[in-house]
Each structure stands twice: as structure tokens, then as C-alpha cells.
């Protein structure tokens, strides 16, 4: 890969803690599935047009073979990715989408056990990106962006396929589908719902123009209050109690003033998403219109067809009764001035065991630490996680820690 592309990847290398928002990416995806199932055959033709706009195949497997899994109600797996670029004209239709995937999550849905399992994968895992091995070492979340930046004819699905192949090599389990969610598109959803009321967890100001506390297009939020102020010129404020889409984005984007840093931003994004879900639950009729479907599907890219979505909504809803979240254990390491996560064989095996069991597959060894092969010289430079962190490569690490603090085999 060229130095220019490497430079573009470097500017996105600031570590972020996205594990807390990852679970909500799935909720957003399932939300669209549920809506599609509710609308059913009444709007099927129009829903298909809307869903097809966000459809992008990876080319990794036969569409018929994976659709057959859903029709037969077999366990399935997703790679869910979160990003913040590319909604103009529909998610993935323009080229303004060459950014890192800010969060990555492996989701398994098993209708027989009525369980959905979410495993947040550290985006900063050191890896060798499939097809771009000479760029080693890179972060796992750069796999999508490397393909997109290197080939101006690549589809969104092509970029995702690079991430999927790299992930499958590292962990040795299949990925049947993917869903990429653009979190910035939540503003469109808020507008379609007629606005939401959100209580701010802290007092802060945010300018959409400068991304700081001063400037035009300025918002002022008050701790423990749903009231906020807005001034288009940055000086003459008006008071509001309900957020429109622009206010919702300002509320969820601020990071520099938050004492919790990026964690505080993801907290506010969760608050916003909860407000959206609460609004929908309070009045389900708000989602029963095609404008809402169009606003939401343009912020999701997937290789799910409209028929797949409808079948998923009808055949797999029982699996939403028991949703379990897990975090992947790893060790932070600075290498050549860049922050990485290193994951030992035992820690990868824990992920492999959980996913394969949820998919009803036989046990198997996990994949290689870096996914694709690296040279002996490259290995000598970075060493292995097993050698660097032997305390993390024991039988006790063959478990995953759930979000509520419990451990599971």
C-alpha cells in the first residue's frame, strides 16, 4: 500500500473505547428488521427498494446458501461495524466513507436456544490485514478502510469482506452476514420521530462549526435538564425542550470537554438511543411510514436482502429474549508510537469456543494471532502475545467475561 494510504490510516489511529456503544449497534440493526417485519407484505415492494439501496454484497459466499440458513431457522452470525462517515445519497453510495470502523462486534443469533450473543472485539487488535500483509502491523479496524482507500472502484461490501476474512483467519469461525451502521445518521431518525427529549448528564456547549465550545451553530446543554439553548450566530440564544436531529447530533458528538473523554461521548450516544427506543415504544405508529424506513435504511449497509430481513424478523425474534454481551480480554501495548491490543492464544480460543458453540459447530482450534501470515523478520520485531503476556495464556483465560461481570465457558 502507498505511503499516502498509510498516512490516511494513521490519522485514524487514536484509541477509542467503543465497547459500550457496540451493543446498541445491534439494537439499531434489529430495530430495522422488526420494522420490516411489521410492515410485511403491505409495503413489501417499497421496503425492498429502500433496503436494496443499502445492500452491498461481500462476494465471500453464495447468497442462496446463507439465505437458506435463515429460512431453515439455523443459527447465524453477523459482523456488526460502527462508523461515522458516508450517508450522502444513501450509505455507501458515495466515496466519502474511507474511515475506520470505530466499533466491531461479532453477533450470533440462535433461535433454538433463544439466545443472542454479542462479543465486542477490540478494534485495536494487532493484525496482518488480508491482502495488505506488507503493511503489518495494523489494527483490525483498519481492514475495511485499507481496501476502500486502495481501490476507488471497491464497493462497501468489498471493504467489509477484507475485515471479515481477516477476522475469520484470526478466530476460525464463519461470518454469515454483516451490518454497518452510521451513527451520525441518527439525526435523520430523530427528525422522523418528531424530536426527542433527553436529559443531559453534564453541562457543556458545542458548536457544529468548530466542534468546540465557541463558534456559530452553537448549542448549550444543562446538566440534569432536558432544556437546552441554541444560537445559529453563536450569540443570540433560544430555549428548547425537545431535540431535533441537529441538536441530537451536537449532544452526541462532543468529546473534548467531557471529563470522561470518549467514554462520555459513547454514554451520551447511549442516552440518545434509549430516548429514540422509548419514543418508538410509546407510539409504534411513528415507525409505520415509508419516510421513516427510508431515513433509517440509508444509515445501514448490509448484505441482508429485504426477504432475508422479513424472514429474520419472523423466524428469529425469540432469540431476542435472552441477549448476552461479552467483552474480549486483551493487553494494551505501545508499538512504534501506536497503541495496540494484544490477544493471546487462550484469549482468542475463548472467543472461538463461544461463537462456534452458539452456531452449533464442532469445537476447533482458534486461528493465528495475526490472521494472515507474516515473515519471520516481522514476527521478531513484534514478538507474540503468548510470549509477551504468558499470564494471559492459561486455562483461566479460556473464558469470556460478560458485561454484567459473570464468566462463561
Confidence of residue 8 (pLDDT cuts 50, 70, 90): very low
For residues 145 and 338, give the distance between their C-alpha atoms in angstroms, rounded to a whole number: 17
Highest mean pLDDT among 39-43, 55-59, 291-295: 55-59
pTM: predicted TM-score of the whole model, two decimal places:
0.72
Highest mean pLDDT among 63-77, 269-283, 332-346: 332-346
Confidence of residue 3 (pLDDT cuts 50, 70, 90): very low
Mean pLDDT on 11-33: 44
Confidence of residue 126 (pLDDT cuts 50, 70, 90): very high
Residue 90 predicted with pLDDT over 50: no
Q: 395 with 265, same domain?
A: no
How much is the pLDDT for 285? Answer: 67
C-alpha cell at 309: 430481513
Highest mean pLDDT among 78-87, 99-108, 133-142, 261-270: 133-142
Greater confidence, 139 or 104? 139
Contact 181, 87 (CB under 8 A): no
Highest mean pLDDT among 2-6, 11-15, 106-110, 197-201: 197-201
Mean pLDDT on 40-51: 57
Count Cα atoms within 13 angstroms, Cβ side, for 177. 28
Please tell me the least confidently modeled range out of 7-11, 37-41, 63-67, 189-193. Answer: 7-11
- Look at residues 259, 265, 276, 331 and name the one whose alpha carbon lies nearest to residue 102: 265
How much is the pLDDT for 266? Answer: 61
Residue 21 predicted with pLDDT over 50: no
Q: 321 with 181, same domain?
A: yes
Q: 28 with 120, same domain?
A: yes
Confidence of residue 18 (pLDDT cuts 50, 70, 90): very low
Q: 84 with 172, same domain?
A: yes
Q: 362 with 377, same domain?
A: yes
Contact 56, 301 (CB under 8 A): yes
Over the chain, what is the mean pLDDT? Answer: 78
Highest mean pLDDT among 4-18, 126-140, 243-257: 126-140
How much is the pLDDT for 17? Answer: 39
Confidence of residue 253 (pLDDT cuts 50, 70, 90): confident
Q: 180 with 261, same domain?
A: no
Q: 152 with 214, same domain?
A: no
Angle among Cα 85, 147, 83 to the nearest 5 degrees reads 20
Residue 333 predicted with pLDDT over 80: yes
CATH number at residue 162: 3.30.420.590
For residues 405 and 154, give the distance between their C-alpha atoms in angstroms, rounded to a whole number: 41
Mean pLDDT on 146-167: 83
Q: 144 with 29, same domain?
A: yes
Greater confidence, 94 or 250? 250
Question: What residue numbers bound the domain in which 231 lies?
Answer: 192-282
Q: 270 with 127, same domain?
A: no
Q: 198 with 268, same domain?
A: yes
Alpha-carbon distances, residue 197 vs 13, 222, 277, 289 (angstroms): 34, 13, 12, 22
**Where a domain ends, among 282, 303, 338?**
282
Residue 341 predicted with pLDDT over 80: yes
CB atoms within 10 A of CB 151: 11
Greater confidence, 270 or 97? 270
**Segment 383-406, tens digit of pLDDT:** 999 999 999 999 999 988 775 544
How much is the pLDDT for 158? Answer: 83
Confidence of residue 153 (pLDDT cuts 50, 70, 90): confident
**Where a domain ends, among 225, 252, 282?**
282
Mean pLDDT on 214-235: 95
3-class SS string, 356-377: HHHCCCCCCCCCCCCECCCCHH
Q: 179 with 317, same domain?
A: yes
Residue 370 predicted with pLDDT over 80: yes
Greater confidence, 194 or 267? 194
Greater confidence, 62 or 164? 164
How much is the pLDDT for 19? Answer: 37
How much is the pLDDT for 43? Answer: 52
Considering its fold, how many domains does the chain have in total? 2
Mean pLDDT on 362-366: 97
Residue 27 predicted with pLDDT over 90: no
Instruction: Render 54-111 in DSSP notation, one character per residue.
Output: TB---SSS-HHHHHHHHHTT--EEEEEEEE----TTSTTSSS------SEEEEEEEET
Residue 88 predicted with pLDDT over 50: no
How much is the pLDDT for 56? Answer: 78
C-alpha cell at 173: 469461525
Instruction: Render 303-359 in DSSP notation, one character per residue.
Output: S--HHHHHHHHHHSGGGGGSEEEEE---EEEEETTEEEEE--HHHHHHHHHHHHHHT
Q: 219 with 263, same domain?
A: yes
C-alpha cell at 243: 431535540
Alpha-carbon distances, residue 356 vs 75, 86, 242, 246, 323 (angstroms): 10, 33, 45, 42, 17
**Where a domain ends, among 282, 299, 331?**
282
Amino acid at each position: 500500500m502507498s505511503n499516502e494510504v498509510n498516512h490516511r490510516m494513521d490519522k485514524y489511529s487514536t484509541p477509542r473505547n467503543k465497547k459500550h456503544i457496540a451493543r446498541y449497534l445491534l439494537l439499531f440493526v434489529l430495530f430495522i428488521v422488526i420494522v420490516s417485519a411489521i410492515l410485511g407484505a403491505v409495503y413489501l415492494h417499497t421496503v425492498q427498494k429502500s433496503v436494496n439501496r443499502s445492500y452491498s454484497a461481500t462476494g465471500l459466499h453464495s447468497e442462496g446458501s446463507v439465505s437458506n440458513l435463515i429460512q431453515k431457522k439455523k443459527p447465524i452470525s453477523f459482523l456488526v461495524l460502527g462508523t461515522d462517515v458516508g450517508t450522502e445519497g444513501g450509505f455507501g453510495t458515495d466515496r466519502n466513507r474511507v474511515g475506520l470502523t470505530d466499533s466491531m462486534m461479532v453477533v450470533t443469533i440462535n433461535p433454538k436456544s433463544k439466545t443472542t450473543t454479542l462479543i465486542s472485539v477490540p478494534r485495536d487488535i494487532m493484525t496482518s490485514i488480508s491482502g495488505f500483509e506488507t503493511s503489518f502491523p495494523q489494527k483490525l479496524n483498519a481492514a475495511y478502510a485499507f481496501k476502500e482507500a486502495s481501490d476507488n472502484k471497491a464497493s462497501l461490501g468489498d471493504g467489509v469482506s477484507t475485515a471479515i476474512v481477516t477476522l475469520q483467519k484470526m478466530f476460525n469461525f464463519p461470518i454469515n452476514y454483516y451490518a454497518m451502521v452510521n451513527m451520525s445518521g441518527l439525526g435523520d431518525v430523530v427528525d422522523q420521530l418528531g424530536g426527542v427529549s433527553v436529559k443531559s448528564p453534564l453541562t457543556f456547549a458545542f458548536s457544529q462549526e468548530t466542534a468546540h465550545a465557541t463558534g456559530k451553530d452553537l448549542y448549550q446543554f444543562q446538566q440534569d435538564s432536558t432544556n437546552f439553548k441554541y444560537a445559529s450566530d453563536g450569540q443570540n440564544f433560544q430555549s428548547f425542550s425537545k431535540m431535533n436531529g441537529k441538536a441530537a447530533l451536537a449532544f452526541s458528538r462532543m468529546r473534548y470537554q467531557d471529563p470522561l473523554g470518549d467514554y462520555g461521548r459513547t454514554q451520551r450516544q447511549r442516552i440518545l438511543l434509549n430516548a429514540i427506543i422509548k419514543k418508538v415504544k410509546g407510539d409504534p405508529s411513528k415507525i409505520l411510514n415509508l419516510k421513516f424506513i427510508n431515513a433509517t435504511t440509508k444509515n445501514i449497509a448490509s448484505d441482508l436482502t429485504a426477504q432475508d430481513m422479513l424472514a429474520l424478523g419472523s423466524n428469529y425474534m425469540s432469540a431476542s429474549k435472552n441477549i448476552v454481551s461479552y467483552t474480549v480480554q486483551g493487553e494494551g501495548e505501545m508499538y512504534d508510537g501506536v497503541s495496540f491490543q494484544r490477544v493471546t492464544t487462550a484469549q482468542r480460543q475463548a472467543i472461538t469456543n463461544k461463537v462456534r458453540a452458539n452456531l452449533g459447530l464442532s469445537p476447533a482450534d482458534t486461528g493465528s494471532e495475526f490472521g494472515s501470515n507474516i515473515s519471520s523478520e516481522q514476527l521478531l520485531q513484534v514478538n507474540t502475545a503468548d510470549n509477551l503476556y504468558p499470564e494471559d495464556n492459561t486455562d483461566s483465560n479460556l473464558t469470556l467475561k460478560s458485561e454484567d461481570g459473570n464468566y462463561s465457558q
